[in-house]
A and B are shown apart, each in its own frame.
Chain A
């Protein structure tokens, strides 16, 4: 994955990777945030790609990630014989 010079629209993290590029050269790239794993295409509307246009209600913080519930809960291991 190739590092990008942008920030995550969702969590403002600065490490962004390029995960795919359009088969038609120059059309778009697919980027992913290394922190919250938000994934977007560069050709999407600003409300999905630009930090200042990204809706507050969808934004995510480091705390949100740390406190995210586990689904499903990891069960206890069975006792070995």
Chain B
């Protein structure tokens, strides 16, 4: 099932019992963020939340936690809501194999019904904005897919970018956006600023659920997010040309904000409670001038709470962080079995691998550090044997408990890049990275006293199936 807009997905969530409508009157703060902070604590089948009775607003419609559980993530991909985490990652890998699937331009985009331009713009009139965390410097937009082009190669649709970035609302038509240097939009902005130009952008809010997933996927620079959306949906992603900038935007967005990042200009921004579970800022950040807003009638404001993990953002960048790392490692090392990069967008990466020869696991660990995503993340890489499931943390802990000798298996590589939001770095942006080799040494590496490992009994699998049937699960 391919969803063309947010509303059709909300209907499915409702039908599946995965949308909780909060009908009592709530305060914009702290109620909405506190509820969104709380809801993931309900577990892997936590619902999305929908608010339409908010003090002071006459027609606010706010959707929170839309991707904030494995059940909702499964439904976003058209899978049964009971689908397990590892199965969702494997399905993601299978669908990625169909990449690229070209998007299709569609007429009469849903957001074209209403528009406002220039000095008539007041973003507060259109979005029921509110604060997420106590120390945030203001009201943020943090689940929008931002579209931009490479200023040196604007016709190249591969180099265009669709990504989610933190955006602070600073005035009726003024925003700030954080381009982390490792992310594609930062490359676009740098090129524009080197040329002394503004960078045109389109900020699209309230998208179909797969657009949010691809916008949060660390794809390679010349890979097109819409072409991945097509592969994941099993149908071309519907897009349309934004009226002012001509940028390709989702056909079904609730709101499309067009404008520019003003070149060579910075202004105080933040702090903001980030996906690391820590505040970052205040810093002098980019300034966006809004020139046009187009929107559906009665738009739904889809927003995302983030804080101490796990919150919605951790679900939104779990499977889609594992898969590109897996693909890139597998390309060079077919021995790689699985990659778990679900923790804090891959600041920790766990890889299971067959060993070609002694020392191989450490080499694979080093390769993780030089993947495009690994450059800015992967502060710690744990490499485990092929029979250890990286998604099974008790097994990973067993590997660390028994396969890792600190004298030989901890490799620290000093002064590597990391995103500036990583709070553990001594100087923001530079960190020593750690590879932990928790694999069993193989020839000619003869360390340890491993002898024979206890293996699952050959009959265990059949018994597991039988017991699951008997237990009714």
Interface residues of A (CB under 8 A from B): 10, 19-20, 22-24, 27-28, 30, 32, 36-41, 43-45, 47-48, 55, 57-58, 60, 64-65, 68-72, 74-78
Contacts and interface: CB of A to CB of B under 8 A. Distances in A.
Given A19-B124, A44-B29, 12 more contacts: A24-B58, A27-B56, A28-B56, A37-B137, A37-B269, A40-B138, A44-B30, A58-B279, A65-B268, A71-B285, A72-B189, A74-B266
B186 interface: yes
A25 B196 CA distance: 45
B186 to A, nearest CB: 6
B170 A39 contact: yes
Contact of B420 (A44, A71, A76): A71
Contact of A36 (B56, B171, B196, B282): B282
A38 B57 contact: no
A10 B285 CA distance: 19
Interface in B234-269: 264, 266-269
B285 A75 contact: no
B268 A36 contact: yes
A40 to B, nearest CB: 7
Contact of B138 (A37, A60, A68): A37
- Looking at chain B's contact residues, the main secondary structure is loop
A30 B124 contact: yes
Contacts of B172: 19-20
B130 interface: yes
B95 interface: no
Given A43-B27, A75-B194, A22 B57 contact: yes
Interface centre among A19, A39, A40, A78 (most CB of B within 10 A): A39
B195 to A, nearest CB: 6
Nearest to B428: A69
B150 to A, nearest CB: 15
Given A47-B134, A55-B134, A23 B57 contact: yes
B284 A69 contact: yes
B283 interface: yes
A34 to B, nearest CB: 11
Nearest to B266: A70
Which of B56, B267, B284 gathers the greatest number of chain A CB atoms within 10 Å?
B56
B134 A69 contact: no
B330 interface: no
Given A37-B170, A72-B186, A78 B194 contact: yes
B92 interface: no
B216 interface: no
A58 B134 contact: yes
Interface string B29-41: 1100000000000
Which of A28, A45, A57, A72 neighbours the largest number of chain B CB atoms within 10 Å of its CB?
A72
A38 B138 CA distance: 6
A70 B56 CA distance: 36
Determine which residue in A32, A43, A69, A76 has the highest number of CB atoms from chain B within 10 A of its CB, and name it.
A69
A22 B59 CA distance: 11
A13 to B, nearest CB: 12
B268 A68 contact: yes
Contact of B271 (A47, A58, A77): A58
Contacts of B154: none
B80 to A, nearest CB: 41
A70 B30 contact: no
A42 to B, nearest CB: 10
Nearest to A74: B264
A19 B139 CA distance: 12
Given A23-B57, A58-B271, A70 B138 contact: no
Contacts of B279: 58
Nearest to B137: A38
Contact of A45 (B29, B58, B420): B29
A47 B193 CA distance: 39
A39 B169 contact: yes
Contact of A23 (B30, B56, B264): B56
Output the residue of A36, A58, A76 with the most chain B CB within 10 A.
A58
Given A41-B130, A75-B194, A48 B29 contact: yes
Contacts of A23: 56-59
A72 B199 CA distance: 14
A35 to B, nearest CB: 9
Nearest to A23: B58
Contacts of A41: 28-29, 130-131
A68 B283 contact: yes
A47 B136 CA distance: 12
B110 to A, nearest CB: 24
A59 B325 CA distance: 40
